[in-house]
Chains A and B, each alone.
Chain A
Amino acid sequence: MAISEDGLEYTFQLRKAFWSDGSLITAHDFVYAWKKVLDPAFPTDYAQILYVVKNGKRAKIKECSLDEVAISAIDDSTLKVTLEYPTPYFLSLVAFPTTFPIPVGLDEKTPMWMVSKETMIFNGPFKINHWDKQFALLLEKNDTYWDKEHVFLKNINFTVITDATTESYLFEKGELDWLGQPLSHPISSELLYKLKQEGSLLSYDVLGTYMLKFHTQKEPFNDPRLRKAFSYAISRSKIIKHILQGNQQVATALLPPSLALQKNPYFQDEDIDEAKRLFEEVLTEKKLTREKFPKVIVSYVLSERNGKMVQLLQEIWQQTFGIKIELSGTEMQCYFQKLRAGDFYLAMGDWIADFQDPISFLEIFKSNEEKNKTSAVSYTRNHTRWENAIFTNLLEQATFEKDPLIRKKHLHEAEQILMNEMPIAPLYHYSFDYVKKPHIKNAHLSLLGIADFKHVEIEQ
């Protein structure tokens, strides 16, 4: 692979590798798949991952034809891609499943090729042997895989169990070898406690942050001092210790530790004194009393864990500020509808990165350029209605900056603004908890939360 000096042109040299039907994987397969994703007629919910490719977005919104998209196959084994702007995380982007190739014309010959194992095609270390949808999946080693010498597992058997308690019973009885995230839902809190006591709980950090969103254009959180006061008062360590009980980390920045732009926390966890001081300051300045303080309602998606969390937050704020906090739990879809419509004061939410770069987190808060065109869809990503021209400008500068150090400086300044204005209060950084049978070795767990079993070995 070669990258041009300006960081705009990527030339990939493909290794000789084969599809599971024996045909060669060519650069044309990549061009075909990527252009398919950017085809306005093709329904995919992740096309934006390829918007960094020159004319990618313009093709999707029908401003130019697909032929103008700068992806091309120079020959069977050479793929050339030109980008809109230097994208230091481009290689992380092309590891995203949306950018995987498919054989040219496959979907036109067999539109439903992805549904049954007879028409499906593979190029990874494993292929599907048996698939009972919503029930069980049996993978077997793929003999046409280029690196098959280093694939040791013959089969992997996945079972779909939606109940966390049942799942933990199956694990205890030895019917499952692996339990927990990312393959499954979080481990049930009873089992989590037991595993921690035994010392067999494993965990790894994932690029995700759980946060509180403030409605920044509505009383009372249109005042940044109040947003800070509410954020500073929270005891994140208590949330982790008593409610989550896993290995999550206290979040005093938007970016998780592995992407952190500065070493020191932006603020202190559970800084009650500062929180009280800011609160009093606003009260005196606005001539408010605790009784007349505007309504504060915390919105959240109904779930056991969320319920415990908001109750703790309610307790903390009521004690610190002496005001009444109301809670409002809603079903998930209605919740997102409320957030989009701006019908909230304080809401719970999270963000998990799609690729390994600070921009994956920061760009959520960029001003929405589509706002004036279609007001109904504005703020779709950033529910807080927070906008800051300097912040957006810094991200723009970072986007076109070639020097990695200057780019980092721009991004750092942007995060500083964000943490100073605090449209969101970071609570904790994600960590996935799991447990496995000790004889399973070498599974690779990525920061994006993906499990890779290519190199897994079973120790006898």
Chain B
Amino acid sequence: MIYYFFKRFFSMVLALFVVITLTFLMMKAIPGDPFTQEKALPQEILNSLNAHYHLDAPWYEQYRSYLFSLIKGDLGPSLIYRGRTVNDIIKSGFPISFTLGLEALCISTVAGIGLGIIAALKKNRWQDYLSIGIAVLGISIPSFIFAAFLQYLFSIKLNLLPVARWGTFSQSILPAFSLAALPTAFIARLTRSHLIEVLSMDYIKTAYSKGLSLKKVIFKHALRNCLLPVIAYLGTLIANILTGSFIIEKIFGIPGLGQWFINSITNRDYSVIMGLTVFYSVILLSSIFLVDLVYIWIDPRIKIGNQNAK
């Protein structure tokens, strides 16, 4: 087990290193720089700005010093927003995106699995068509259209919920649902198809013949197996949803982290691009790691470090 942890940790660090290096090189390769704007700057001013942010050193020098400060946990200053550090930006934006993402995550897992179970049990009946209909809509309608629709319906027409901004629970409802739409639909479809498959297996028939109730069969026996693909999907979903969505944050005026992913690239704010990439990768790699652990716990057939695993 310890060997497994160690191995996983090492491969995570390696993956992170590769991500950092590739991002750094790609970032330097795209045209433009943080100080390019319509009103071009005199050369001596550009030089002084470049020198201040050490952008005049060769790229390998910049790369090396970036890695060193990264080890110390320092992601550097933003080149566009004077006086703000990348650590600062993450510290202020991430808790907001995290809260919102967590709400959306709860909605999508509960609603997704729920819809999936209903659809599987009532296969080819109207309940099935309805819940899969909802799921298809959730997948095919882009989130910004869904968000704009929710906003228009619930805030402008019905006057039930706030239009936008962040701070109270009621302000988080619409964005959370908009964010949850796509994963809900995806989880519902995954659950349905796997549950249908599992329900036709022998051990389920055995469970029924033992006289167990439907509830017990579903929740104790069937669900455990059919959740494996859902959990696998959750690994990437967690990282995506917790780090915020540009479009949802824009529509609902939420000061989360999602907008920074896009804006930093538009602005060529190098240190922010790098910092967010590193941050996102760490979250992604850890949540995938976490999912693997949950996998082992749920499915005893998976054995670690054992070549003879069935």
Contacts and interface: CB of A to CB of B under 8 A. Distances in A.
A241 to B, nearest CB: 26
Given A133-B84, A163-B250, A43 B151 contact: no
A162 B253 contact: yes
B49 interface: yes
Contact of A374 (B43, B156, B250): B43
Contact of B31 (A43, A48, A334): A334
Nearest to B41: A45
B87 to A, nearest CB: 13
A417 to B, nearest CB: 22
Contacts of A377: 43, 46
Interface residues of B, number: 43
B36 A135 contact: no
A381 B49 contact: no
Interface stretch (A167-175, A232-240, A264-272): A167-175
A132 B91 CA distance: 12
Interface in A142-197: 159-163, 165-166, 169-170, 172-173, 175
B96 to A, nearest CB: 9
B155 A169 contact: yes
A114 B38 contact: no
Nearest to A161: B253
Interface string B43-81: 111101101110000000000000000000000000001
Which are the 10 A-B pairs with shortest beta-carbon distances?
A: A333-B32, A380-B40, A135-B255, A43-B52, A337-B31, A115-B83, A161-B253, A61-B44, A169-B163, A166-B164
Given A332-B266, A334-B32, A115 B84 contact: yes
B259 interface: yes
B210 interface: no
A173 B250 contact: no
A326 interface: no
Given A48-B42, A133-B84, A161-B164, A336 B48 contact: no
A41 interface: yes
B92 interface: yes
Contact of B252 (A48, A115, A166, A175): A166
Given A45-B35, A331-B266, A337-B32, A163 B48 contact: no
A175 B165 CA distance: 11
8 contacts: A166-B251, A169-B156, A170-B164, A173-B156, A333-B30, A334-B30, A340-B36, A380-B41
Contacts of B253: 159-163, 166, 170
Nearest to B247: A163
A60 interface: yes
Contacts of A340: 36, 40
A340 B38 CA distance: 10
Interface in A1-57: 40-45, 47-48
Given A160-B253, A163-B250, A377-B43, A114 B48 contact: no
Contacts of B44: 40, 60-61
Contacts of A329: none
Given A166-B252, A333-B31, A45 B49 contact: yes
A163 B163 contact: no
A459 interface: no
Using C-beta atoms within 8 Å of the partner chain, give the interface range for chain A. 35 or more
Q: Which of A42, A114, A133, A175 has the most CB of B within 10 A?
A: A133
A48 to B, nearest CB: 5
A350 interface: yes
Most buried by A among B30, B32, B93, B166: B32
Contact of B163 (A48, A175, A350): A175
A165 to B, nearest CB: 7
Contacts of A166: 151, 163-164, 250-253
B82 interface: yes
A173 B163 contact: yes
A36 to B, nearest CB: 12
Nearest to A164: B250
Contact of B48 (A41, A135, A159, A160): A41
A333 B268 contact: yes
Interface in A346-360: 349-351
A154 B253 CA distance: 25
B37 interface: yes
B93 to A, nearest CB: 8
A33 B30 CA distance: 36
Contacts of A380: 40-41, 43
B39 interface: yes
B270 to A, nearest CB: 12
B81 to A, nearest CB: 8
Contacts of A159: 165, 253
Nearest to B260: A134
Contact of A40 (B36, B41, B48, B93): B48
A58 B251 CA distance: 48
A134 B53 contact: no
Interface in B241-274: 250-253, 255, 259, 266, 268
A41 B30 CA distance: 28
A406 interface: no
B49 A43 contact: yes
A370 interface: yes
A112 interface: yes
Contacts of A43: 48-49, 52-53
Contacts of A160: 253, 255
A333 B92 contact: no
B150 interface: no
B48 A162 contact: no
Nearest to A383: B40
B148 interface: yes
B147 to A, nearest CB: 10
A60 B45 contact: yes
A169 B40 CA distance: 36
A161 B43 CA distance: 35
B206 to A, nearest CB: 56
A331 B155 CA distance: 34
Contacts of B36: 333, 336-337, 340
B40 to A, nearest CB: 3
Interface string A92-119: 0000000000000000000010110000
A45 B166 CA distance: 33
Contact of A47 (B33, B37, B45, B251): B45
Nearest to A113: B83
Contacts of A44: 45, 49
